[in-house]
Chain A
Amino acid sequence: MSSRPSSRHGFAGTTALVGIGATEFSKSSGRSELRLATEAVAAALDDAGLQPEDVDGLVTFSADTNPEIELARSLGMGELTFFSRIHYGGGAACATVQQAAMAVHSGVADVVVCYRAFNERSGARFGAGVQGRPPLPTAESSQFSWYAPQGLLTPASWVAMFAQRYLHVTGATTEDFGRVAVADREHAATNPAAWFYGQPITLEEHQSSRWIVEPLRLLDCCQETDGGQALVVTGLDRARHLRQPAVVIRAAAQGSGDQQDMMTSYYRDDLTGLPEMEVVARQLWATSGLGPEDVQAGILYDHFTPFVLYQLEELGFCGRGEAKEFVRDGHLHLGGRLPTNTHGGQLGEAYLHGMNGIAEGVRLVRGTSVNQVPGTDHVVVTAGTGVPTSGLVLGAER
């Protein structure tokens, strides 16, 4: 399948991911977040065969605590001509790559590194929710006023409200959520970098794990992780002369839907879709000239299992309300229609705000995943769900 260049997104097909690097994924790194970022970026540059002084652009999440200038100082990057941050939590992941690709394509920068590093387990834990946040008189803070005083405090609880409705409308069961977890953990079990390496789970174990927020159980929820992940983007011409085979950015897109909230978009006509992901999917397929049938593997953001089902539907891998049959037929596993989260996902490998999934997308295209999907030409990767989000289609250069 060849791709036709998009007139809309000039960076698509002309830019590439050329390096990936990460720290170990742990529950207590024992070092600063800046050091994690430093180590991850150094590893990614080494993977690419580039030096810190080759870097002239940096992109991260607005949620990241590591300023670009501190990272540049730490690694001796010298001058930068491009630095940018993406908002909305894990929704930023694939958008960092899009920002980098746009900067490279426009000539603003030549080599751009995307990074995310945190002590999310041993330091401030997202799973603890927003109860400690000061009530500031700002629009962003005031949105939590409709949930926090009522006790709807955590990401799990915000997603659970969608999930309960999804079960009611589609006839899916919590076992279908569990099938996502089982597939993730099966893949993690053979990935030495995964926290749950060697620890697959059964559907029965999923069903007997304790409730976090009904209808979500413990095994529906991602891990909390300490670690860092970095990705290097440059132009395809330069990529051809670097250490690794180029992984071409066939498409990259952001999306926010009508009546978008931060995980609490409860006021739309129905709660069984993720319109923001539909905005992303529409652009990905139009830009790349590809469709679901051209993609051999998926990295679908899995902070909580239900939204993996939603994404299968939004991306067009199955019809509306049909994700339950898709997962029951085993299509998330190796040998299935769309082996998904072959690194173990954020349930099995690590919660790196989606950035570790992009790295796995790169490995799949290079053919170096520990759970390699044979004949992978194209991989779709998504970012945080329930929030304004982003996505990628990555492909081999052939």
Chain B
Amino acid sequence: MSAGTRPSPAADPALAERLGVFEGRPAGPDLEAADEVNQAMIRHWVEATGDENPVYVDTGAARRAGFAGIVAPATMLQAWTMRGYRRTKEIEQWRARGRSRAGDVTDVTDITDAAGAPDDSPLDELFGLLDEAGFTSVVATDCQQEYLRPLVLGDRLRARSTIEAVSPEKRTALGAGHFVTTLTEFSDATGATVATMRFRILRFRPGPVGAREEQRPLRPRPAITPDTAFFFEGARHGQLLIQRCASCGRLRHPPAPSCRWCRSLEWDTVASSGRATLYSFVVVHHPQVPAFDYPLVIGLVELEEGTRLVADLVGVAPDKVTIGMPVLVDMVSYDDELTLPVLRPVPDEDAR
């Protein structure tokens, strides 16, 4: 996990520009220590590190050593504003709901607790952008702390973090990634700075993903009723079917039991030509659901026959999509059960 790096030739300049705007922004809201510097937490710490230095537990020894009283181990700094298991549960829920695909070897609490994310903070936004670009894994790489005075029992800390730097894309031993550096200022109850920290993590693109593709979750299933089954059945046979009133001949979508014009309950279907014009569209970035690839372009089209339809728009870069562009309907099978119409741009020579 060494941080030896070189620039990555495949880096995306547009992404670099979007990442650059985060430099200098606050990482998130200030973190208030839940508890004062206290003997109990110090005891857990010195037991965990086998530290027998008496200045952490014995007032007399601490005073004899030149301290004002019992002090906390200097390197325990970050522990005072960590938000503990409650925070971890929040992050787990956040991930479970598809807000992030961060995974693999992660040390997310280290940095998020140091800097306040994920809570719709700038750091959260930055991580969102990196997630989206595929840099979903995290490892803490560097920590520099400077202690301006020892912390004594009763001190209460507040941590304020800013995003100092977001590196261009680098190749590392772990894979291509971006280093994110935060600066944290720890202050006491009087507002005086007692310590500073520079913390660096690497967000990197995890290794081969073939194994994951095989276990990719299925797309959400359509809820099918006797009024709508024909559409999905037709799609499985490669046809985009539109419901047609058997009485007055008008077309309708989404399907309904009755014709809104002549109230007839009788209907059949017609197959669409597949020629359509883009009426509106969206580019989905968040939340990211594992069944889909992002950014995901979804179009609302007017079919040549006159009805509208929502379908994924594929084969065109999001920034090349324009309202009014002609598209063609194609059928894509995602699994044994689900086939859906998708939209593809019309090749130039077919456009007219």
Contact = CB atoms under 8 A, between A and B. Distances in A.
Direct A–B contact present (CB less than 8 angstroms): yes
A32 interface: no
Interface string A132-167: 010111110111111111111110010011101100
Chain B contact residues (Cβ within 8 angstroms of A): what range? 35 or more
Contacts of A148: 220, 222
A210 B128 contact: yes
Interface stretch (B55-63, B203-211, B310-318): B310-318
Given A211-B286, A215-B282, A267-B253, 13 more contacts: A142-B228, A144-B223, A145-B228, A145-B232, A148-B222, A150-B298, A152-B310, A161-B280, A165-B300, A213-B282, A213-B286, A214-B283, A271-B280
Interface in B244-267: 253-254
18 contacts: A130-B220, A131-B289, A136-B223, A137-B224, A145-B228, A149-B338, A149-B340, A150-B311, A154-B287, A157-B298, A161-B282, A161-B298, A164-B282, A210-B18, A213-B283, A214-B283, A266-B280, A271-B280
B308 interface: yes
A142 B284 contact: no
Contacts of A135: 220-224
Interface stretch (A42-50, A71-79, A121-129, A292-300): A121-129
A287 to B, nearest CB: 29
Chain A contact residues (Cβ within 8 angstroms of B): what range? 35 or more
Interface of A: 27-28, 122, 125, 127-131, 133, 135-139, 141-154, 157, 160-162, 164-165, 168, 208-215, 218, 223, 264, 266-267, 271
B280 A149 contact: no
Contacts of B223: 135-138, 141-142, 144-145
A28 to B, nearest CB: 7
Contacts of A129: 287, 289
Contacts of A133: 220
Nearest to A140: B223
Contacts of B279: 165, 271
A104 B296 CA distance: 50
A210 B129 contact: yes
A35 to B, nearest CB: 18
A258 B220 CA distance: 28
A147 B338 CA distance: 14
Interface in B85-141: 86, 90, 93, 97-99, 119-120, 125, 128-129
Nearest to B296: A151
